Every structure is written in C-alpha cells, then in structure tokens.
Chain A
Amino acid sequence: MRTGRYVAAVTALVFGAMAVPAQAATIEIVMENLVVSPAEASARVGDTVEWINRDVFAHTATARNGDFDVTMPPKKTVTSVLKKAGTIEYYCRFHPNMKAVLNVAP
C-alpha cells in the first residue's frame, strides 16, 4: 500500500512535469500610440502573451492566418496562450496600419 502510494506520487510528478513545458514563459507585447512593440517577437507554443494596450483606443491582434484574434479594450491588458507554431503576421482590425510578427517555435 505504501509502495502503491509512492508509485502514484512519482507517476503524478513525472506526468505533471511532462504536461507542463519546462520553459513556459510570458511575453509582453505593448500597443502604444498605435505602434506595436516589439514589431517582431519570439515565443514558443504554450507561452502566454500579455497584450498590453496603453492607448485610449481599442485595438486587436488579429492573425492573418486565423490562428488568433484578441481584442484589447482601451487601457487594458489581455492574455492569451499560444497554441500553434509558425511565423504569424498579425494586425489590428480597427487600425490595419498597426502590424507586427510573432515567431512561435514548436
């Protein structure tokens, strides 16, 4: 019984560690004065993006390939988790002159 519990604990640890990628990170992307920075960012699948809108205007981060479409109300931060790898060009639907690129590694 003791051994059984021990095995269960180890199993949980091992699988737990496997389920959560070792380096899941949070990256920040800022929209301020209608400029996205950084203009090109790198991340990995499973990372969280903090979309920080410092403007009094609503913006969106809309992937051209349809991978994501995040809307940021004025002066708000919205988070999303990256699900797919790829070089993703995105823009703001309200202000299509706001453009940037996100490189998502597998």
Chain B
Amino acid sequence: MFVRLSATVAALSLVASAALAQGAKPTDPQIAHIAYTAGVIDIAAAKQAETKASSKDVKAFAADMVRDHEAVNKQALDLVKKLKVTPEDNDTSKTLSKQAADKLAELGKLSGAAYDKAYVANEVAYHKAVNGALETLLIPSASNAELKSLLQTGLKIFQGHQQHAEHVAADLK
C-alpha cells in the first residue's frame, strides 16, 4: 500500500531530480503553474476528505488544507496578474495532475478508519514531496523576486502542514 500511495510523491521527486540533472530550469510561468497545481491537488484531496473522513480531527485538518491552499492560490493568481505572467502548463503539472487523479480514485474506494489513515499518510508524503520540489527546484529556479518570495511562504505553509499531518497521523494510532 505504501508503494502505491507514494506514486505522486515519486513523480514529484523524479521531476525535481531529472530537471536538476539536465540543468533544465523551469521558467517562471511554468513554476507558477506547477505551484498552483500542487495547491489545487491538495484542495481536491481535502474536499474528498471533508465528505469521507470519519475522524473529527481528520475532517478539521482537511478544512485547514482547503482554507490555506485556497489563500495561497489566491495570492498566486493576484501575483501572476500583477506581473502579467500567464501560467504555462507543462509536463510536470500534467504528471502531477494525472497521478493525483489516480490517487483520488484509489482513496475513494476506501472508507472509515482505513480511509482516514490513508488520506493522512498521503498528506504527510505529499507535503514532504512538494517541500522537496520547492526547495531543490522551484525556489532556486524562480527568477522574479516576488514569485520567489511567494514560493518561500508556500514552503513554510507546506512544512507546517506536513508537521500538522504528522501530528494527526500520530493521534490516529
């Protein structure tokens, strides 16, 4: 089960290391698209959790994810508008979205405590992977200072969520 739940995670780290190996840096419009997509993915997972989760803590965690990631993505949209940058779809975003859709379908088949555990475990792994991609690829590659600073705030948010998810996971046992 662990192998399957980390499909998206593996995709993210592969993307980061492949890009680094080739020295291929994503452009700002691509970075904006990837970061936005990463948020959209977590919001979709959280909305599923809000309807499927049985634990009160897991439901509350999901509501936190929706609220925070919507706030970050709103800031991202405001910024690209201000900078007159059009986010550009790319292979990383496409891979992430595809993997996330599969994951959502997989989680959709679970229920009760098994669902809660799988959702929270995936949240820990997913936030960890996004943190890795932000740190090693997206932040160093961003050329616009405001975009870089928004990504840095995003990194702190994702790190916070990772720890929050770890606490929720520990309490589920």
Q: How many residues of B contact A (CB 8 A)?
A: 16
Are A34 and B164 interface neighbours, CB within 8 A?
no
Q: A56-B74, A56-B75 are in contact. Are A94 and B68 (CB under 8 A)?
A: yes
Complex Cα distance, B64 from A98, in Å, reads: 15
The 7 closest A-B pairs by CB, nearest first: A95-B160, A34-B156, A96-B163, A56-B71, A97-B160, A97-B159, A94-B64
Q: A93-B164, A94-B64, A96-B164 are in contact. Are A33 and B71 (CB under 8 A)?
A: no
Complex Cα distance, B161 from A8, in Å, reads: 58
Chain B residues in contact with chain A, CB under 8 A?
64, 67-68, 71, 74-75, 152-153, 156-157, 159-161, 163-164, 167
Closest chain B CB from A30 CB (angstroms): 15
Chain A residues in contact with chain B, CB under 8 A?
33-35, 56-58, 74, 92-98
Partner of A34, one of B64, B153, B167: B153
Name the residue on B nearest A91 (C-beta).
B163
Complex Cα distance, B153 from A34, in Å, reads: 7
17 A/B residue pairs, CB under 8 Å, sorted by A: A33-B156, A34-B160, A57-B67, A57-B68, A57-B157, A58-B67, A93-B164, A94-B64, A94-B160, A95-B156, A95-B157, A95-B160, A95-B164, A96-B160, A96-B163, A97-B159, A97-B163
Complex Cα distance, B167 from A95, in Å, reads: 11
Name the residue on A nearest B65 (C-beta).
A94
Residues of B within 8 A of A35 (CB): 156
Complex Cα distance, B108 from A54, in Å, reads: 37
Name the residue on B nearest A94 (C-beta).
B64
Are B153 and A33 interface neighbours, CB within 8 A?
yes
Complex Cα distance, B160 from A96, in Å, reads: 6
